[in-house]
Structure 1
Amino acid sequence: MAGLKFVFSILIFVFSMVVAVDHESIKSAYWPSWDYSTFPASAIDTSLFTHIFYAFLMPDAVSYKLMVSKSECSTLANFTSTLKPKVKTILSIGGGDEDPNIFARMAATKMSRKSFINSSIEVGRKYGFDGLDLDWEFPKTPEEMQDLGELFVEWRAALKKEATDTCRPPLLLTAAVYFASDFFLAEVHRAYHVPSIKKNLDWINVMCYDYRGSWDTSSTGAHAALFDPASLVSTSDGLKSWIEAGVPRKMLVMGLPLYGHTWQLESHHIHGVGAPAVGVGPGINAQMTFSEVMDFNNKQSAVVGFDPVTVSMYSYAGTSWIGYDGPMSITLKIGFARAFELRGYFFWAVSGDKDWKISKQASMTWGP
C-alpha cells in the first residue's frame, strides 16, 4: 500500500508540472529491418508515432559509402512508400552490433567524412527518407568525440547545400547517443562535443536503457531505471547531465526499451530489484521483448511487481526474473519527460510491443 501511495504521489507531482511545448513533439521508434518478414513496416500502427527510424545501414569499411544490397533496395523502398506520408521516416546508420572502429576511421579525416556524408544524402534522397540518423556506439576516446563533432558540422553544411541546390526541404539530422553527456567506459573518460550537437543536429535520441544486464549476474536490476539512489546511472541523472552540459531540452528525446533483461534468482523468496542472482535468465542473450515478457507472464502465471524507487516493472516465476517497463512505469516516465520539457520519446524497438499496449499508453500519456 505504501508503494502505491508513493506512485500516486509521483503521478500528481509529475502531471502538475506538465507544460505546453512550442515545438513539434517526437513520438518515435526504431524499426529493425531484419524483422521485415515477421514484422513488416506495414504492421506499424502509424497513428501512434510521428517518426519511424529504419535500422540500420552501414558504411563500407574502406570507401565509407553506405552499403545497400539488392534485398535492402526493395526493403528501403517499401519502408518509405508504406509509411509516408503518415509519419516521417529517418534512415539510421550504425547500430550497437556494428564495429565502432569503422566510424572512428571514417570520422578521422575530411576526405573520408565527405565520402560518407555525400553517400548518406544520396541514399536518403533516393529512397525518399525525411532525415538521417547516426548510431555510433560509441566513440572510444576524446579524439573520436572531437571527430564526431567535426562530422556533424560538415554533415549539416552538406545538407543545407543539397537542399538549396535541389530546392527541397533539408533532411533532418539526428543521432542516437549514450545516456549521459560525459562518461567512463573501459576506464576512458569521454564527452560529447555539445556545441556541435546544439548547432548542427535537430535532436538527439538518448539511449536510456541497458544500465544493467547479463554482464553482472550477482543481482537483478532495473536496466532502464528512472531513478537510482545508489548511483548516477539512471535516466534522470543522464538527462540532467545533457541539460547541464548545455543541450536545450527541446533537443532531448528520451529512449524507452520495449524489452527486458533477465536473471536467475538465488531464491524465489527474495525477488525484488537488487535481489541476489546466480546467473542469467530466459531469453536470447538474457533478453526478452515486451511481447515475450507478456507471454511468459501468462504461460508461467508469473508474479508481476512494480518498484517505486527505480520506477520499473519486474516479474518472476520460480527463479526466473525479468526487469522491464510496463504500462505503469511508462506512464510515469512519459510524465517525467513532459515535466522536464523534453522533445519526446523513442522506442527500441517497435516490433517488441504486444498489441500496441505500451505504444498506446505512451502516446496517450504524452498527449497530442
Structure 2
Amino acid sequence: MAGRERNAILFFSATFFFTFMAASSSSAPIKAGYWPTWTVSYSPPSSIDLSLFTHVFYAFVQVDSATFQLNVTAADDRLLKDFSAAIHAHGSPVKALLSIGGGDSDSAFAALAAGPDTRSAFIESTIAVARRYGLEGLDLDWEFPKDDKEMADFGKLLLEWNAAAASEAAATGRPRLLLTAAVYFAPRFFLSRTPQSYPAKQMAVALDWINAMCYDFHGSWDTTATGEHAALYDPRSNISTSYGLKSWIAAGMPAAKVAMGMPMYGRTWRLSDPSQHGVGAPAAGVGLGEKGVLIYAKVVEFNRNNSATVVHDEATVAAYSYAGTSWVGYDDPWSVTRKVEYARQLGIGGYFFWAIGYDDGWNLTGTAWRAWGY
C-alpha cells in the first residue's frame, strides 16, 4: 500500500471514529441557549443559571471578509474569557460553544465557502479560537445560503470542518470539538422565489446537531394581519414548527441531531379593529417594541400593566395577548410545555432558546427543562 493511500485511510478512519464517538455521546438531551453579547449589561455570563442548560452559545463572532478568519475583537476577547470562565465555573458540566455569524454575515460566508483555500483558512481559525478560549464547540450561523451553489459550498464547508476537527482531536488527544449549525426551520426554502434545499445528508454526517430556528414565521414584513410567529401547528399552511421538524427528519437528518428552536420574544401588531383580535385578525401596522418585537420579560410586563387578555390558542399551540389595539403573539410556559412534549414524542435531540437574557426570571427555560425531564 502506498504511503499516501495508507495516510488517507488512517485520516478518514479517525474522522469516522471521532464522528461516531460524538454521536454516541450526544444521546443526552440538548437543552441549549444562545447568549447574545449585547445583553451583557443586564445579563452577564456570570448571571446565567447553569442548572437550566446543557449547552450555551456565545453569539456572535464575525468573519473577517479579507482573511476569512475569525475577527475576535478586543471586546470579544474580554467577553469570551468571561464567558468561558462563567460557563465552566465550579466544575459545571455545561458545554460552551462559539456561534459564528448571525444575520448580517451571508456575503462573507458565501465568499469563504466558495474555495478550498478560503474554507481552510476559516476552519483553521475557528478551531484555534475555540481552543484558545477553552470552548467545547463551534456553531455556524449562516442565514442563509441563497441558491443551489451556496448550498453545495455549505455542504463542502461542513464536511471539511468535520474532518479538520477530527484530525485535530486525533493529533492532540483532546475531545473533538462539537460542530453545530443554526438553520432555517425547514430543509427546503419553499417560500423563496428561488426554492433551494440544504444538503441534509452531508449535514447529518458533518454535524453533531442542527438548531432549527422555528420562529419568525410572521412579523413586520407583513403588517396586514396578526400571526403566531412560532406556532407549533398551522391549520392553513406548512409554516409551522411541527412541519419544519418532521421535514428535517424526512430529508435525512437523524431525529437525535435536530434541536427545536423556541423564541423568548413576541412579535406585535396594531389591530385595525380592537373587536377583532384573534390569530389572523386585520392589522394596521407593527405594534409595540422595536420593529414590532418584545422580549418575553417585556411581554409579561405589558400583560400585567395593561390588564391584557391572554389567550392560549389550541389550533396553533401558541399564546397571544391583546389590550386595546395592541396585539402580541409569543410562547409562554403553557405553549413551551406543549412544544417540549411534542418534541420528545417526535424523538428529536432537544431544544434551544433564542435568547438568554430575554426570559422573565428563568420562567421559560425552567419550564422547558422540567417538561423534558432528565
TM-score range, shorter chain: over 0.9
Amino acid at match of 2:361: D
Partner secondary structure for residue 247 of structure 2 = helix
State the distance in 2 between where 1:184 and 1:79 align: 37
Match for residue 168 of structure 2 among 153, 159, 162: 162
Matched, 1:321 2:327: yes
Q: TM-score, normalised by structure 1?
A: 0.93
Q: 1:296-311 counterparts in 2 under 5 A?
A: 296-311=302-317
The one of 43, 46, 60 aligned to 1:42: 46
Q: Which residue of 1 aligns with 2:35?
A: 31
Structure 2 residue 354 is the aligned partner of structure 1 residue 348: yes
> Following superposition of structure 1 onto structure 2, how do residues 4-83 of structure 1 map, counting pairs within 5 Å?
23-83=27-87
Distance 1:175 1:78, change over 3 A: same
- Residue 197 (structure 2) pairs with residue 197 (structure 1): no
CA distance in 2, matches of 1:37, 1:216: 32
SS in 2 for 1:304: strand
What amino acid maps onto 1:222 in structure 2? E
**CA deviations over 1:196-253 (Å, ceiling 9, x no partner):** 1111100000000000001111110000011111111111111111111111100010
- Give the C-alpha shift of residue 172 in structure 1: 0.3
Moved >3 Å (runs of 4+): none
TM-aligned CA distance change 1:61 to 1:234, over 3 Å? same
Structure 2 counterpart SS, 1:350:
coil
1:11 aligns to what? none
* Paired position in structure 2 for 1:16: none
Separation of aligned partners in 2, 1:239 and 1:293: 27
Inter-partner Cα distance in structure 2 for 1:107 and 1:154: 10
Give the counterpart letter for 2:205 in structure 1. Answer: K
Matched, 1:277 2:283: yes
- Contact 2:55 2:95 survives alignment (8 Å): yes
CA contact (8 A) 2:201 2:251 kept: no
Whether the 8 Å CA contact 2:262–2:354 is kept in 1: the answer is yes
Map of 2:128 onto structure 1: 122
Letter in 2 for 1:91: L
Number of residues of Structure 1 aligned to a counterpart in Structure 2: 347
Give 5+ residue unaligned stretches, structure 1. 1-20
In 2, are the aligned partners of 1:272 and 1:307 still within 8 Å (CA)? Answer: no
1:206 to 209, 212, 222: 212
Secondary structure of the equivalent of 2:277? coil
**Counterparts of 1:104 and 1:364 in 2: how far apart (Å)?**
40
1:113 corresponds in structure 2 to: 119
Report SS of the residue matched to 1:352.
coil
Indicate if the aligned counterparts of 1:27 and 1:344 stay in contact, CA closer than 8 A.
yes
Q: 1:288 aligns with which of 286, 294, 300?
A: 294
Match for 1:68: what amino acid? Answer: V
Cα deviations across residues 63-118 of structure 1 (Å, max 9, x unaligned)? 1100011121110011011111421000000112x130110000000000000000
- Which residue of structure 1 aligns with residue 98 of structure 2? 91
Q: Deviations over 1:229-282 (max 9, x none)?
A: 111111111111111111110001000000010000011111111111111100
1:243 aligned to 2:249? yes
Provide the C-alpha distance between the structure 2 equivalents of 1:105 and 1:78, rounded to a whole number of angstroms: 31
Gaps of at least 5 residues in structure 2 are 1-24
SS of aligned partner of 1:183: coil
Could you tell me which amino acid in structure 2 is paired with residue 90 of structure 1? L
Mapped to 2, the partners of 1:99 and 1:124 lie a distance apart of 19
Offset at 1:22?
A: 8.6
2:273 alignment counterpart = 267
TM-score, with structure 2 as normaliser: 0.91
Q: Name the CA distance, whole Å, in 1 between partners of 2:183 and 2:50.
A: 25
Q: CA deviation at 1:183?
A: 1.5
How far does residue 185 in structure 1 lie from its aligned partner after superposition? 5.1
Match status 1:227 vs 2:213: no
Letter paired with 1:325: D
Kindly state the Cα deviation for residue 184 of structure 1 after the two structures are TM-superposed.
3.4
- For the structure 1 residues 283 and 22, does the alpha-carbon distance in structure 2 shift closer, same or farther, using more than 3 Å as the test? closer
Paired-residue identity, %: 50
Residues 22-74 of structure 1: CA distance to partner in whole angstroms, max 9, x if unpaired? Answer: 91110000000121122101111110110000000011011110001112111
Letter in structure 1 aligned against 2:320:
Y
